[in-house]
């Protein structure tokens, strides 16, 4: 499907949430990230940063049609619902276009479906129709296919616009088997729900594997930024190298 590697690389760039979620991030690094998001091969879909940098990123990307995403209940997923809703409201006030919410996945492993569903519902209510909600299920911790399926169902039934594999802060992040399970749930419940592979996608070959999987399961039209994303940072360097360009990027893994 992707014999033309340059086409595949350009497509992957357009589907990327270029990410920096490091404890020592500062304004200069976020400015560099925003510069990197506009490449010679086209713009990324979004940048994903901590809430305190939203206003800066919005200012820097105002003319570039690049969304600004941020994270809440991150990375542990252990926050109280009212606190997470407050985080969401504040991020939206700062100007966030997209919210990446960590599902209370530990509660789900303990058989508690009510708290995760309630959190997604209330955060989606705060987002409304204007702010995209991506729900991180932390598939590498859930591990079991049944738990990954349940987490995906809870997220979608709660109102998620996207389901996302990982925070990038655990030992196992995106995997093709987990992606397969998540995409299967999407295909059954609502093929308009988006999917985001985050963590461990470092090369064009990695990206092609996920794009082919999604296209085979949901059609080639699914590969648009409205329904498919990569959460990554170092991946951009590899993709630009494939295209004959060079760039610097934060070599973190989200």
Which one is catalytic: 17, 58, 97, 100? Answer: 100
Which one is catalytic: 97, 196, 206, 253? Answer: 196
253 is catalytic: no
Residue for token pair 């969304």: 67
Q: Sign of the CA dihedral 195, 85, 22, 243?
A: positive
Which one is catalytic: 97, 124, 164, 206? Answer: 164
CB neighbour list of residue 217: distance below 8 Å, 6 or more residues apart: 180, 183, 184, 187
69: left (phi over 0), alpha (psi -120 to 50) or beta: beta
50 with 100: CB under 8 angstroms? no
164 is catalytic: yes
Distance CA 83, CA 5 (A): 44
55 with 92: CB under 8 angstroms? no
Q: How buried is residue 246: exposed, middle or buried, by Cβ count under 10 Å (0-12/13-18/19+)?
A: exposed
4 is catalytic: no
Distance CA 32, CA 98 (A): 20
Which residues form the catalytic set?
100, 164, 196
């Amino acid at each position: 499907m992707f014999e033309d590697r340059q086409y595949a690389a350009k497509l992957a760039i357009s589907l990327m949430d270029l990410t920096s979620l490091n404890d020592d991030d500062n304004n200069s690094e976020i400015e560099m990230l925003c510069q990197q998001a506009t490449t010679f091969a086209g713009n990324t879909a979004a940048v994903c940063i901590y809430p305190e940098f939203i206003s800066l990123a919005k200012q820097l990307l105002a003319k570039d049609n690049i969304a600004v995403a941020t994270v809440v209940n991150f990375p542990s997923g252990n926050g109280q619902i009212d606190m997470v809703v407050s985080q969401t409201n504040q991020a939206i006030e700062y100007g966030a276009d997209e919210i990446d919410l960590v599902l209370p996945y530990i509660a789900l492993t303990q058989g508690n479906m009510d708290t995760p569903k309630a959190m997604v519902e209330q955060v989606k209510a705060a987002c409304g129709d204007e702010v995209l909600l991506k729900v991180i299920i932390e598939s590498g911790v859930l591990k079991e296919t049944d738990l990954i399926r349940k987490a995906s169902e809870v997220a979608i039934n709660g109102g998620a616009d996207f389901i996302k594999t990982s925070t990038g802060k655990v030992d196992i992040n995106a995997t093709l088997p987990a992606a397969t399970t998540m995409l299967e749930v999407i295909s059954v419940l609502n093929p308009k729900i988006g999917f985001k592979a985050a963590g461990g996608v470092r090369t064009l070959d990695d990206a092609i594997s996920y794009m082919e999987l999604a296209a085979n399961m949901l059609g080639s039209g699914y590969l648009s930024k409205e329904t498919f994303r990569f959460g990554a940072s170092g991946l951009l360097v590899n993709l630009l190298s494939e295209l004959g360009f060079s760039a610097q990027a934060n070599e973190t893994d989200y």
